Amino acid sequence: MRKKYKRRNEDKRLLRPPKDQSFDFTDTDTWRVLRIQGEFVNGFDALSRVGSCISVFGSARTSPEDKYYKAAEKTGALLVKKGLGVITGGGPGIMEAANKGAFEAGGLSIGCNIELPFEQEPNPYQNISLEFHYFFVRKMMFVKYSVGYIIFPGGFGTLDELFEALTLAQTDKIEHFPIALYGSEYWKELCGWINSCLCEKHCTISPEDKSLYKIVDTPQEAVDYVIRTIKKNNLI
């Protein structure tokens, strides 16, 4: 059973359609704009000098005994040994594993935590720990301060990060940094659907769009791919 935490859901409050407005200024959209601005300023200030980092995404529900947790931990360690920092969502599961690998290897381990009604408690393996109320501010930090993504098996949130990165790369809104999908067993059906349905049957993406990501199956393969691609594209 999911553990519930009594927290204000700021995204939900922000996106609630207007109706009877409170006279409390802290409940107005004007106040929220200022709070959003503050989150951007704090995030930019904390991360502006961290250097090249890789964002690692994946399920918060992955247990430490799971093979993907162990792989994410090893991946985090390999990344910092190559001089890269690691950024995650700062929570449990895959996020904890990648932070732990980076932290215990003596490297930079960053957590961009989000206020959620369940699941999201910060893991202890972070050199820099930031707290966000708004998903879109937090997502900006991943894109702005990363030179690549490694995406482990996960749910809707993980897929959200994946498809946002693919959309930004496809539309040339960001540098074409590497996007590695870890675990062919997990991703092969989704990628098969992308190939057969989006590309071949309906032509809603171009064949070259399939080169925006790569499936990998070992931590070393993941790290080698992101380093090779960021060097090729002069991202570091």
pLDDT, one tens digit per residue, over 96-124 is 999 999 999 999 999 999 987 665 689 99
Q: What tokens appear for 83 in the block?
A: 């001089």
Per-residue pLDDT at 115: 80
Per-residue pLDDT at 89: 96
pLDDT in tens, 140-199: 999 999 999 999 999 999 999 999 999 999 999 988 799 999 999 999 999 999 999 999
Per-residue pLDDT at 198: 97
pLDDT in tens, 32-68: 899 999 999 999 999 999 999 999 999 999 999 999 9
Per-residue pLDDT at 19: 62
List C-alpha distances in Å: 192 to 7, 48, 189: 39, 38, 5
Contacts of 31 (CB under 8 A, 6+ apart): 25
Amino acid at 158: T
Average pLDDT over residues 64-82: 98
Per-residue pLDDT at 28: 78
Architecture of domain 25-232: 3-Layer(aba) Sandwich (3.40)
